Amino acid sequence: MIALPVLAGTVWAYAGERAALSALAGAALVFVVLTVGLLGITAVVLGPAATSMAGAGVVYLGQLILVVAAVLALRGADWLDGRPFALSAIAQTLVMQVGQVVGYVRARHEVAPGSLDRGGAS
């Protein structure tokens, strides 16, 4: 969430208000879509294990459809500047993906004592 004002502020400093508004829109779009997708994946994981991969694929496809639909809906907007929109959407995606990976790694716990040791021979 911190990336939203940082991205918009950075773009504002370089390209002005219109570009900053476009950057904020791109980052906010990705933030909302990926957050909804994260909630969807959580629901899928809580369900039967046999359908987890298929459910994850459906969630991912849904995220892509939502982003494409939003881009198509916004492409005719007079206030939208395409380059800052796209760059901030990409940056927001990277920030959120890194955050999710870090969260996943921190949330792991040992199932069996010593199972996460990397120093020993396998």
Residue 121, pLDDT score: 54
Give me the pLDDT at residue 31, please. 93
Q: 94-108: per-residue pLDDT in tens? A: 998 898 888 878 877
Residue-level pLDDT, tens digit, the chain, 122 residues: 778 888 888 888 888 888 888 898 999 999 999 999 989 988 988 888 888 889 988 999 999 899 889 888 888 888 888 889 988 998 999 998 898 888 878 877 766 776 666 655 55
Q: What is the pLDDT of residues 56-73, one digit of tens each?
A: 889 999 998 998 898 888
CA atoms within 13 A on the CB side of 31: 15
Burial 89-113 (b: 16+ CB within 10 A, else e): bebbbebbeeeeeeeeeeeeeeeee
**Residue 88 CB coordination number (10 Å):** 28
Residue with tokens 């069996």: 112
Tell me how crowded residue 69 is: count the other CB atoms within 10 A of its CB.
11
Q: What is the C-alpha separation between 18 and 32, in angstroms, rounded?
A: 21
